[in-house]
Chain A
Amino acid sequence: MQRIGVFVCHCGTNIAGTVDVKRVVEAVKKEPGVVYAEDYQYMCSEAGQQKIADAVKNEHLTGIVICSCSPRMHEGTFRKAAEKAGLNPYLVEIANIREQCSWIHKDMEEGTEKAVILARAAIAKVMLNAPLQPGESRVVKRALVIGGGIAGIQTALDIADAGYEVDIVEKTPSIGGRMSQLDKTFPTLDCSSCILTPKMGEVNAHEKINIYTYSEVEKVSGFVGDFSVDIRKKARYVDMDKCTGCGLCQEKCPSRKTPNEFNRGLNTRPAIYTPFAQAVPNVPVIDTEACIKFKTGKCGVCSKVCAAGAIDYTQKDEIITREYGAIVVATGFDTINLDKFDEYYYNQSKDVITALELERLMNAAGPTGGNVVRLSNGEHPKNIVFIQCVGSRDVTCRGKSYCSKICCMYTAKQAMLLKDHYPDVDVHVFYIDVRTPGKNFDEFYRRAVEEYDVDYIKGQVGKVSEAENGRLLVQGVDLIDNRQIKMEADLVVLATAIEPNKDVRKIATMLTASIDNNNFLTEAHPKLRPVESPTAGIFLSGVCQGPKDIPETVAQAGAAAIKVVGLLAKDKLVTNPCTAQSNPLFCNGCSACEKVCPYGAISYEEQQVMDGGVRENRRVAVVNSALCQGCGACTVACPSGAMDLKGFSNRQILAEVDAICR
């Protein structure tokens, strides 16, 4: 005979404000099986938990239902409380009457009615709960960091410094990421390379860090503490052990027409190349689509000039399979495509550039040697217009609804640097708002306005076009003076919105990590768990989680690292006992479950079954509970209902539905 106890939480006024908790208590008392019900202000508090423990003992409860907040919040708390009182923790059910009820209702009548229904469903389910015992799983003491920008570098360094092995997988031929493309950094104006390259060197030299550049994650299986990852190490066609990094091959390569990705296509590069001089590793790769040898079979210049004999045209992609306890996503960002922003004349004019392109122009190692020129004619610009929020804070479908966060600061930076280098230029900035929260940030912006005389115009630009004299014509509005502005400019710089790296969808899918509408990875909790993905064992570092500047990225990278270290420091993890099991009597052996299982936990074997007195050999599904993560995909794929999930059995779910529809 079941003896169920129901505990209704007020959550202060969070629940009690919209749900008549006393009436819920009275209603559930009438439910069959319920022998005890009470309400309390904060069920999760020490006193609340004591009430649960007392009732379990005094009323000899066989199952309990807590009507409170989401199980994501306090299921663990209440399970522990039950366990302490001597009840199996899996005999606890949560009826979420806060997020799914009180918070979304305004009317007390409706809220109360729904709370009773949700409680009833949980009671129906708990009646069918069975005590479950969790097992243990191992922790592989190695972490994988996907992305070798400043976020990935910092996370890897912090994990490695704590004594754990780390592998970095970087898609491009070198680590360094976006930060390596920047000229100076705000708000201190120190040179980006000067502060980044020592870190790149440190990562390269660290005995606990292993870098796979020109490599991509291809497949991920397993689960927290025990992931198995296939890494595709793309063929470089250059032997990393032999290459001395002399650069002669790059100099002599006759194919020189490929747009240089590192310089945002502002100049070209050879077919054999390192993205930039300080690349780590300083070993070039051959771009087979540009290489004459690969296209025609004739050439081989690089091989001839290489004194080290490092060129190897026969190299093949290599798949490396390694195990990891934790995975950090640090895939960074790119600027959005501007094809839909024709009003800014970006695709039409060489003199309309993005801010990241300006970084390359300002950089001494950039395509113009640090000379900021009009790319149309090589002349120095006299009048420069910056346009803010190009695609940011844009609720139309062509832009991004969010603020890209870094643009106000880098625009102030670029404006000041330009004024520094070329005192004769005029700089105008069209903006919606100037947003500069951050340590020493507003002071930085004010300096641009007050000391450098940068002309900030509150208003937007409607159109950029070509004037008859070959200059650009910028038409906008000044909202403060309420006037139309028409000005000629030599250079227009667009503060283009940033978006997560295109590959993040593929990676998130492999990791079963959730992403939001803008492709940013979602945190486990936006305030309290900002560097963890809701998927256990997956951590977030840098802009893949949301727009960030460098100081924030580095801080978050360190936070992700300590979360990883906290996980890797454990010897064993407690596994979820809510795993799938198959009933051989109902199993057709059709393999549907095996195909949908993301963890490879299902296999098939010939088993002798007794069905209605008939002995028969059948092909039936078997679940390896050590691998099963309880996702339930198999239970819905199974046409005959043979597959069932402990703790969430088909019967339990139907009992809940029945209780709701009653």
Chain B
Amino acid sequence: MQEELIRRAKELLGDGTVVRVMGWRKGDLSFNPEPALFETEESLAEFVYDGFCGANLSKYMIKLSKLEGKTLVFLKPCDTYSFNQLVKEHRVDREKAYIIGVGCDGSLDVDAMKEKGAKGIQEITEDGDTVTVRAIYGDKTFDREDVILERCRACKGGAHMVYDELASNADEEKPARDGRFSLVEKIEVMDPKERFAFWQNELSRCIRCNACRNVCPACSCIKCVFDNDRYDTAQKANADTFEEQMFHIIRAFHVAGRCTDCGECSRVCPEHIPLHLLNRKFIKDINTFYGDYQAGADTDSRAPLTNFTTEDVEPSIVQERG
């Protein structure tokens, strides 16, 4: 697959369709490729596409679409939702992007492999549904299903919402998976004290590295309110409980109705806080109250939270449900 994408990127660079390529390149380890910009055909030698290319590249297009000429960007099915949402918010210029929709079998989760006993990982190879880990303390073989990210267990399906062309591995017919809200439901049934304790425990691990915010395609403000000295939030961030009680909740509110549920926040969290569940709770409520809505499925529909119709749910019902 990787070879096909490199070949196509070279062609598009060569014929002048695009002037740069946004993709992924090898990291220092075999399981941490990183987003990268390629401006020459030679540099594409470092291009990589494998199960660890979970990074959603759509947010990079904010800056890249301001530059002269088109940028080739590779988007997995779930990344296309983020891209559309950014187009909808006038943050990305659709005309400045050439999108190749790539297929995805679910992003691999190296931490899951470690938990399952892989120690001293040297090399990871994928072969269909089998993932083989060569490791210092014993090689391991896993079923792919057991070592994918939680977000991929709630896959929105194989269809790309926007693209200029599709790679050969794209599977537009691949259906969405069930149980997207099963983890949210587990938290919903907790009593308020238990739920508070759950989130306090999770969020207390936050070291405020801002990785969630920086990776989030919905967190694309030119100036984030948390960095804005106009509201003295910078000082408030010094309060002991800020991360536990404020930061993530405020962030979830800010992206409510705009979050496409790409799950990048949880993927990059070094403390393994399941941040995407906060957003998913909002999505679930929005679906319940206003009818099913998927942010980024298109670029022109009115989002329920910034729209009003007389069929909207009554505030009293929202209140009753708490």
Contacts and interface: CB of A to CB of B under 8 A. Distances in A.
The residue in A506, A596, A640 that gathers the most chain B C-beta atoms within 10 A of its C-beta is A640
B221 interface: yes
Interface string A186-224: 000000000000000000000000000000000000000
A586 B230 CA distance: 11
Which label, helix, strand, loop or mixed, suits the secondary structure of the A interface? Answer: mixed
Given A586-B222, A588-B222, A611-B222, A637 B306 contact: yes
A650 B231 contact: yes
B254 A639 contact: yes
Contact of B225 (A592, A619, A637, A641): A641
Interface of B: 89-91, 220-225, 228, 230-232, 254-255, 258, 302-303, 306-308, 310
A639 B223 CA distance: 10
Given A595-B302, A640-B224, A590 B231 contact: no
23 contacts: A586-B221, A586-B223, A587-B222, A588-B89, A588-B90, A588-B222, A589-B90, A590-B91, A591-B89, A592-B89, A595-B302, A596-B308, A618-B222, A619-B90, A640-B222, A640-B223, A640-B224, A640-B225, A640-B228, A641-B225, A641-B230, A650-B231, A654-B231
A303 B232 CA distance: 74
B221 A639 contact: yes
A651 interface: yes
Interface of A: 505-506, 509, 585-592, 595-596, 604, 611, 618-619, 637, 639-641, 650-651, 654
A589 B254 CA distance: 15
A587 B220 CA distance: 11
A586 B233 CA distance: 15
Given A509-B310, A641-B230, A588 B302 contact: no
Contact of B306 (A506, A595, A618, A651): A595
A596 B308 CA distance: 8
Contacts of A639: 221, 225, 254-255, 258
A585 B223 CA distance: 8
B315 to A, nearest CB: 12
A168 to B, nearest CB: 23
Contacts of B307: 595
B9 to A, nearest CB: 29
Contacts of A618: 222
Contacts of A637: 306
Those 4 A-B pairs whose CB atoms lie nearest each other, nearest first: A640-B221, A590-B89, A595-B306, A641-B225
B310 A505 contact: yes
A297 B27 CA distance: 72
Contacts of A591: 89-90
A619 B93 CA distance: 12
B90 A590 contact: yes
Nearest to B232: A654
B306 A592 contact: yes
A596 B307 CA distance: 6
A585 to B, nearest CB: 7
The residue in A586, A589, A637 that gathers the most chain B C-beta atoms within 10 A of its C-beta is A586
Nearest to A517: B316
Contacts of B308: 509, 596
Contacts of B310: 505-506, 509
Nearest to A596: B306
Given A611-B222, A641-B228, 14 more contacts: A505-B310, A509-B310, A586-B221, A586-B222, A588-B91, A589-B89, A592-B89, A592-B306, A596-B306, A596-B308, A639-B225, A640-B223, A640-B224, A651-B232
A103 B307 CA distance: 38
A617 to B, nearest CB: 9
Contacts of B306: 592, 595-596, 637
The residue in A590, A591, A654 that gathers the most chain B C-beta atoms within 10 A of its C-beta is A590
Nearest to A639: B254
A589 B232 CA distance: 23
Contacts of A604: 90
Nearest to A609: B222
Contacts of B228: 586, 640-641
A588 B303 CA distance: 17
B231 A651 contact: yes
Contacts of A588: 89-91, 220-222
Contacts of B254: 639
Contacts of A589: 89-91
Nearest to A617: B66
Contacts of B220: 588
A611 B221 CA distance: 14
